[in-house]
Amino acid sequence: MAGKRIPLYLKELYGDFYNKPKLCAFFDKNWVQTCLTFGNNKKLITSLLKEVYTSCKALQLGCTFGRQMEETASKIGIYGIYDILDISHIQLKRCKEKFDRLFPQIRYVQQNANIPLKKNYDVVILYMLLHEVPHRQKAKIIQAALDSIKEGGKVVIIDYHKPKIWHPLRFFVKSFNRLYQPFAEILWDKGLETFVKDKSKYIWKKTLYFGGFYQKVVIQKKFSDEFADEKPFVPYQP
């Protein structure tokens, strides 16, 4: 039961945000997500979709609002697997009601994101999740994601990043985070690689958006020595 228990920080900081149906319905509107990301919602989703391919086996840690999960499911298609994991049964129920008839490839798992599923996924997605969890949980969640991918598989993280010094929204967002998102600022101060103990097992690629305000980090698991001479499978994408 420990893996299904709602963490205290989630209750205290985001309880109303995630548990009230009317509030969830409001934040689920695409235009709201576009406003909250300063117009970058579509760009971030498009960037994520570049890392997902048709018929792959994917896992997402944490439900999201807006069109991100819908577009990801469409990209994966009915012959793939798209598992969505969340600690909140309310959020899983919301997603199930929204997607069940449209996307039979989606399966739902109620579990804490810091526990690995170890099912050899091609892709594990962390979309705007890490800034909502305490610092120690960040490391556990990233490691759980890495433990759930196969050799050649990848973890895709999209989240906040330290903006450039000239960014006009820098001080506004910093003040907002200190009031309402206390776990976000560490993503300004530390790179995601600092949360992983053995970085040498992975290939890292980082892309910044909106003046450094957002980041996409792709962490690909290297092949073991016995497969070192083999090239990783790259799906055809027209």
- Cα–Cα distance, 25 to 33 (Å, whole number): 12
- Element containing residue 108 per DSSP (H, E): strand 106-110
pLDDT above 60: residue 118? yes
| Amino acid identity, position 238 | P
Q: Which residues of 44-65 are buried (b: 16+ CB within 10 A; e: fewer)?
A: bbebbbebbbeebbbbbbbbbb
Domain ranges of the chain: 2-224
For the chain, give the number of residues.
238
pTM of the predicted model, to two decimals? 0.90
pLDDT above 70: residue 235? no
User: Which residue bears the tokens 């117009």?
Assistant: 39
Out of 3-7, 38-42, 47-51, 69-73, pick the least confident. Answer: 3-7
pLDDT above 80: residue 71? yes
- Cα–Cα distance, 191 to 85 (Å, whole number): 25
pLDDT, position 6? 67
And the tokens for 97?
């009601």
And the tokens for 99?
């997607």
- Cα–Cα distance, 216 to 214 (Å, whole number): 7
pLDDT, position 138? 96
pLDDT, position 10? 64
Q: Topology of 2-224 in CATH?
A: Rossmann fold (3.40.50)
* Angle at 194 (CA atoms; ends 190, 196), nearest 5 degrees: 145
Average pLDDT over residues 28-35: 95
pLDDT above 70: residue 233? no
Average pLDDT over residues 28-41: 95
Average pLDDT over residues 168-176: 92
Average pLDDT over residues 94-101: 93
pLDDT digits (tens, 9 = 90+) for 179-200: 888 899 999 999 999 999 989 9
pLDDT above 60: residue 85? yes
